[in-house]
Amino acid sequence: MSASDSPGAVRAARPSRRQFVADLLGASGLVRPFSRLRHALARDLVILAYHRVLDVADEDAFDFDLELVSASRAQFRAQMTLLRERYHPVRFADLAAALAGGPALPPRAVIVSFDDGYDDNHRFAFPILRELGVPAMFFVSTGHVDSGLPYAYDWLVHLLLCTRAARLEIAELGVDLELPASRTARRAIAADVLDRMKAVPASVQSAIVERLGVEWGMPRAQGHPDCRPLSWPQLREMHAGGMEVGSHGMWHNMLARLAPADMQAEVAGSRRAIADALGASCEVISYPVGGVDAYDAAVIAAARDAGFELGCSYVSGTNHLPPREPFALRRLPIERHMDAAWFAALVGMPEAFSYTSRRRIG
């Protein structure tokens, strides 16, 4: 799940240059030959990272974190079509098999992955993936699948957007300010708060969200139509339809910010919950939040001990084959402001068109 860029300024400045060059390259017809040459030389693995696939008719009226919307349905269909035509979409299981001495991955291998497990993944992404024959991995936080509760970071954004309170005071983060009326300004404040949260223990993060919910009369409750986790029946259907399901912890806690015993319980418990629910083993974990402050050597050791074979970060980049760090795989975050030319350039020439997302949150 993503804490935010400061929406307006960063988004305006960041895409413009890449978008301009991507448009030029797209118009020139050079993306495809460049990308073929690049992928022939590099022979690496590209893993794309999505969160939500959703049509947001009115961004200003959307009551949750817009930065988690990776693509509209039309964008997603076009992106998957491009992967089908120009690349070889593969599964994490194919990567694990290759690492175990099985067949090597094909050239231009790409894996599609989703973090968090929003129910729009089932409603909107899964039908497109199934129709186009593109496999994908869904990393879910099993406590949320069990409970139906919204994700804490997204609920925090919701609280900040919708509260009638005049002030925001979070002593633990050194935040004390007047809440502006403008939603754009509130989204920027939410981004800043989420960024500050990354420095405090997971228990403090949860306590802040719960306290604000109670103080403002908006306790975190299941059932909001715009913020629902996937259910186990949906995941079983997706799994039976050829999709992979992996761990994103139990409660989307930053694993490196948990006490060691709690961290190990989240890692092992999430794997067990998925295996029990699907009747299949679960080999891959994506560390919640996923930046370099979200996982460390102890988290990786716990993942290995629990029986995982691969681990994904939210650090931007591609992966040498065989991966030098199979428990710190890099991914390319996909964001909703990337148009078709940019997406084609990003996957085709990731060195030039990817960037370290300010959010650093997966």
At 242, which helix (H) or strand (E)? Answer: none
Which residue is closest to Zn ion by CB?
Answer: 1
CB of 345 to Zn ion, least distance (A): 26
Residues 6+ apart with CB under 8 A from 295: 255, 256, 287, 311, 313, 328
Using rule CB under 5 A, residue 83 touches Zn ion: no
Which of the ranges 83-91, 110-118, 163-171, 325-333 carries the binding residues for Zn ion, by CB under 5 A? 110-118
- 197 lines the binding site for Zn ion (CB under 5 A): no
Residues numbered 284 to 313 that lie near Zn ion (CB under 5 A) are 288
Check the CA dihedral 297-203-252-58 and report its sign.
negative
In the complex, minimum distance from the CB of residue 68 to Zn ion, in angstroms, rounded to a whole number: 9
- Assess 1 for contact with Zn ion (CB under 5 A): yes
- Residue 1 vs 105, nearer CB to Zn ion: 1
CB 286 within 8 A of CB 159: no
Nearest distance from residue 248's CB to Zn ion, in Å? 6
Neighbours of 63 (CB within 10 A): 15
112-120, 179-187, 218-226, 316-324 -> range binding Zn ion (CB under 5 A): 112-120
| Nearest partner of 72 among 354, 276, 338, judged by Cα | 338
Residue 116 in the binding site for Zn ion (CB under 5 A): yes
Of positions 44, 115, 154, 335, contacts Zn ion by CB under 5 A: 115
Helices (H) and strands (E) in the chain, counts: 15, 12
Q: How far apart are CA 65 and CA 76, in angstroms?
A: 19
Point out which span in 1-9, 25-33, 128-136, 183-191 binds Zn ion (CB under 5 A).
1-9
Residue 174, H or E segment: none
Residue with tokens 């090597």: 104
By beta-carbon proximity to Zn ion, the closer residue of 291 and 362 is 362
Decide if residue 266 touches Zn ion (CB under 5 A): no
- The residues of the shown chain that bind Zn ion, judged by CB under 5 A, are 1, 115-116, 288, 362
